[in-house]
Amino acid sequence: MVEKENKSLSSVYQEKFQPDYYIRRYYSGLDAGNEFCLHNLHQFFKQAESNKNTEGAAKKVLEVGSGPVPIYIISASQWTDWIVCSDFLEQNRHKFNEWLSTGRKADETWLPYARYVAHLESENADQESAFLVLERARRSIRSILPCDVLQSDPLLGKADTLFDVIISVFCLECAACSAEEYRITITNVARLLQPSGHLIMMGGLEGEYYFIYDRKIPRIKLTREMIDSALEDAGCRIVTWEELPRSLRPPDLPIDYTAMFFCVAKKKLLV
């Protein structure tokens, strides 16, 4: 039954998810929700940078379910130049690749977000700094891979490495059809983490849908307890939890969650 439901959710994504529409509708300008995510990511990587051991192999970062959106790895690119992005849909990977290969001409949509991050990094940031952080992000991306978080190896055998940090924004609760399947996605993704590595998740609590045009796309109704217990099952422990009330985001966004969350979980040494 779950498998059948998921097949239909996958085909909804394949047929209905349009990256251009998604960007226009959900990334038309910086709002409190984006600031919440970008600020918390900046804080995490600033802390990681201060703990960094200067010797040893480059730190590796993976984003699962990037969609067509390059902004959530900007802060990571200050910490490492070894970043892999990924998504389930070919059309999203294509759009992301377009941004990657086009250069500054493709940056216009993302400049307000990049400017915000550049200001977090330096008080003297200007318009040029926004371009520079996007260029840094571009240079840091090693590849954009297919990904399916429902598979026990979400990167489908395309990466034979474990990651120090995995980022996932509004993805797992969209990919899963049930609470049980949500637990499975977390276990699958956590399998790609190094022991003591960090899984950073952002998303919406208690929401059941979002829209692509007039198509209602289902999501599972997440609570903190569900996230906590799924992480525990996957051998991870929450070390940071922040929330932002939905009311602080633009009222016209076609979403129904009650709050956004930012969660960092650390994988235990022995799982």
Taking the least distance from each CB to ligand SAM, the nearer of 27 and 131 is 27
Taking the least distance from each CB to ligand SAM, the nearer of 72 and 79 is 72
Taking the least distance from each CB to ligand SAM, the nearer of 141 and 150 is 150
Which of 75, 92, 187, 188 touches ligand SAM (CB under 6 A)? Answer: 92
Min. distance of Cβ 133 from ligand SAM in angstroms?
A: 18
- The count of other CB atoms within 10 Å of the CB of residue 12 is 15
> Which of 66, 89, 65, 72 is CA-nearest to residue 17?
89
Min. distance of Cβ 66 from ligand SAM in angstroms?
A: 6
Site size with ligand SAM, rule: CB under 6 A: 19
Binding flag, residue 181, ligand SAM (CB under 6 A): no
Binding flag, residue 88, ligand SAM (CB under 6 A): yes
User: Contact letters (x/-) for ligand SAM, 21-60, by CB under 6 A?
Assistant: ----------------------------------------
H helices present in the chain, as ranges: 2-16, 19-26, 32-50, 76-79, 90-102, 111-121, 127-140, 172-175, 179-190, 224-233
Min. distance of Cβ 113 from ligand SAM in angstroms?
A: 11
Binding flag, residue 164, ligand SAM (CB under 6 A): no
Task: Give yes or no for a contact between 212 and 24, defined as CB atoms under 8 angstroms apart.
Answer: no
Name every residue whose Cβ is closer than 8 Å to that of residue 199 and which is 6 or more positions away in sequence.
165, 166, 168, 186, 189, 190, 193, 231, 236, 264, 265, 267
Binding flag, residue 170, ligand SAM (CB under 6 A): yes
Binding flag, residue 182, ligand SAM (CB under 6 A): no
Task: Give yes or no for a contact between 162 and 194, defined as CB atoms under 8 angstroms apart.
Answer: yes
Binding flag, residue 61, ligand SAM (CB under 6 A): no
Name every residue whose Cβ is closer than 8 Å to that of residue 264 and which is 6 or more positions away in sequence.
44, 198, 199, 200, 238, 239, 240, 241
Binding flag, residue 150, ligand SAM (CB under 6 A): yes
Binding flag, residue 141, ligand SAM (CB under 6 A): no
Chain centroid offset of residue 4 CA:
26
Where do contacts with ligand SAM occur on this chain (CB under 6 A)? 13, 17, 65-67, 69, 87-89, 92, 147-150, 169-171, 174-175
